[in-house]
Structure 1
Amino acid sequence: MAGNFWQSSHHQQWMLDKTDLIRDRQHDLNILSDDEYQKIFNFFSSIIQVLGEQLKLRQQVIATAIVYFKRFYARNSLKCIDPLLLAPTCVFLASKVEEFGVISNSRLISTCQTVIKNKFGYAYGQQEFPYRTNHILECEFYLLENLDCCLIVYQPYRPLAGYVNDIGHDEQLMTYAWRIVNDSLRTDVSLLYPPYQIAIGALNLACVMLGKENHKSWFAELNVDLDKIQEIVRTITNMYEMWKNYDEKKEIQGLLAKMPKPKPAPQR
């Protein structure tokens, strides 16, 4: 593992270019609009979040699982693997990488069944969670191969805590900015920007939401690319605007039906 972000595989292999990202998604974007694509990823990020919470995982583990999920589909079409299978596989792998400990196979499957039935029944109706342990284990190898075994993910939480302390510790500001970092996982910023820039963007947005004008001088003194920070803020703000007019419970079934799907495996 690299001792710092700049020497890590996260920086050297997984800081993607926006143009490349759009090009690699083209197969899916021929079927789905960009808005629909983002809504689908919002939905599966929610599944990973709820699954992680039910399994009592730390937020760092959940965030890493979501980044794995986003990275896989940054290089692959949605039709390669059912996202409903990849989501728990990412949770399973992230719990090991982040040294939370291995989740037992039976607990993972039973939690998936409960979460899909009780929390996301509006999307899947009466459908049971269709996968078993052998599917998760097989999918994990495929996920590892596609991530090129680059498993260490640097998250914005640690730099965020440092920045808040530097400004002058403010519990309300920390809480708001932390939530914005969590929300940023629903966008592409974790694929496009270093974690310290995401932390600054979240802090900037939290200050605006809370009306904390007195921190402007602190931001002005930062030696960072402010255009990049504004791009991050704009991306997260655009997602919040989308949420205002989006009723997931009414729309998601139609989006999942439209989504490109893997071909079923041949019957043996």
Structure 2
Amino acid sequence: MAANYWSSTQKQNWLFEPYEIVDLREEIEKQHAKAIEQYPLPDRRLVFIFIKDRIIQLSKRLSFRQQCVATALVYLHRYFLFNAMQNVNIYLLTATAFYLASKTEESPHHIRLVASESRQQWPEYVPSDPARLGEMEFCLISEMHSQLIVWHPYRSLTALKENSKLALTNEELSLAWSIINDTFMTDLPLTCPPYLIAVTAMFLAVIFVPGKSALDLKQPPQDLQSLMDAGRFASLGGRSGVLTTIGQALDNSAVPAGSDGIARQNIQLPVGSSVKAKTLTAAASSEKMQNIVQFLVESDVDVTQMIDATQEIISLYEVWEQYNEKAVKEAVARCIRGQQLEA
């Protein structure tokens, strides 16, 4: 296990340029063109939303730390880099990823318990024999070359909390945490270092807060330790008013740096094409925003990559509005049955 992210297997082997991921997926499509054409699945992000909900469904009666869900989703992202979704029983793979992640994150469950719970939740897709789950675990570990340690943005968000100049509130931290959770439905865990995801989520959360009344926030703000230990996976996706709030906050306008001698920075944060932007003036004029921009300048964050990450998150929320659980469930079922992958 690496003592820090920079010497970790994640940094060395599991961080890709977007074009590399495109190339890998095109290769998979060529190799499995017939199955992919015969059993089409919805947008990858919609499938991952469905998988995330299945993991939470599975874990309702199993104690777990929230980070287990994030780690399981990263494992699945890695697996699907080299395997077509149409060639695997997604329910069995999801249960296996959660089982393996629970061990990695030091909140393990016995394989028989996970197999039994999976069977109870999805009896038509998960076999009763725990050995099948063990076989899938071996395949999953093999695809990841036994590189199981995952560095998450949560640790970086905790560090940002300790920065007194940023003065982040529990409400902002809670929003940033939810945004980080949502990034696991995108390719960001494969293309961005965790610290950059955390900084982007923090920046968006600070912008969100002035328009928080537009969001359907059903949970009160929590401190980070409570969020880490919570048995839920908070999300902004699917809530009413998210895209409207983004459109009101992000304006394709510059967020100016402070007037303390630091060079002015134009941080362009584009919104999705379907979102009508309004203004960022109120946020830009606040002392907190000035401090955040100063932090970005002094920390030498890759602003271009931050912009790309922001667009990826916004695009996710646009796609999320199209999410229909029944449609995804039926598409997955057709694939599993057609490929004879069921239990």
Q: Same fold (TM over 0.5)?
A: yes
122, 136, 151: which one aligns with 1:139? 136
Counterpart mapping for 1:162-181 below 5 A: 162-166=159-163, 167-181=166-180
- 1:187-198 to 2 correspondence within 5 Å? 187-198=186-197
**How big is the shift at 1:146?**
0.6
* Structure 2: distance between partners of 1:19 and 1:226: 19
Residue number in structure 2 paired with 1:158: 155
Q: Deviations over 1:26-75 (max 9, x none)?
A: 31786388952321222112212332343121011221111001110012
Task: Flag the 1:173–1:86 CA change in 2: closer, same or farther, 3 A.
Answer: same
The code of the aligned residue for 1:220 comes to V
Partner residue, 1:124: none
The aligned counterpart of 2:228 is none
Match of 1:20 in 2: 20
**Which of 105-114 and 68-77 deviates more?**
105-114
Question: Does residue 87 of structure 2 align to residue 77 of structure 1?
Answer: no
Q: Which one of the candidate residues 219, 226, 232 is aligned to 2:292?
A: 219
SS of structure 1 residue aligned to 2:81 = helix
Per the TM alignment, residue 248 of structure 1 is displaced from its structure 2 partner at its CA by 2.1
Q: Gaps spanning 5+ residues in structure 2: where? A: 211-281
Q: Say if 1:48 and 1:88, in contact at 8 Å, map to a contact too.
A: yes
Tell me the alpha carbon deviations over residues 147-195 of structure 1, each in whole angstroms, 9 at most, x when there is no partner. Answer: 0111110001111121133112411011111111111111111111000
Contact kept in structure 2, 1:82 and 1:261, CA below 8 Å: no
Residues 91 and 122 in structure 2, CA contact (< 8 A), matched pair in contact too:
no
Measured on the aligned residues, the alpha-carbon RMSD in Å equals 2.5
Equivalent pair of 2:25/2:81 in contact (CA under 8 Å): yes
Q: Does residue 100 of structure 1 match 2:97?
A: no
Q: Are the structure 2 counterparts of residues 53 and 13 from structure 1 closer, same or farther at C-alpha, using a change threshold of 3 Å?
A: farther
Task: Work out the CA distance in 2 between the residues paired with 1:264 and 1:245.
Answer: 29
For structure 1, the residue ranges without an aligned partner over 5 or more in a row are 118-126
Residue 208 of structure 2 is matched in structure 1 by: 209
Bigger mean CA deviation after superposition, 145-154 or 35-44? 35-44
Relative contact order, higher structure (CA 8 A, sep 6+): 1
Quote the residue 2:321 is aligned against: 244
SS at match of 2:149: coil
Report if the CA contact (8 A) 1:181-1:202 is conserved: yes
Question: Is contact 1:187–1:236 with CA below 8 Å preserved after alignment?
Answer: yes
Partner residue of 1:111 out of 87, 111, 117:
117
Aligned: 1:129 with 2:126 = yes
What's the CA shift for 1:110?
2.5
Query: What's the offset of the Cα at 1:128?
Result: 5.7
SS for the counterpart of 1:54 is coil
Please report the TM-score for the alignment, with normalisation by the length of structure 2: 0.68
Alignment of 1:50-69 (within 5 A): 50-69=57-76
Alpha carbons 1:160, 1:200 under 8 Å: kept? yes
Q: What residue identity is the alignment partner of 1:3? A: A
Which one has the bigger helix percentage? 1
SS of match in other structure, 1:25: helix
Percent of aligned pairs sharing the same letter: 28
TM-score normalized with structure 1 length: 0.85
Indicate whether 1:232 and 2:231 are aligned: no
Task: Check 1:161–1:201 CA distance in 2 against 1; reply closer, same or farther (3 A cut).
Answer: same
Report the CA distance shift for 1:206/1:73 in structure 2 as closer, same or farther (over 3 A). same
Report the CA distance shift for 1:201/1:132 in structure 2 as closer, same or farther (over 3 A): farther
- Residue type of the alignment partner of 2:313: I
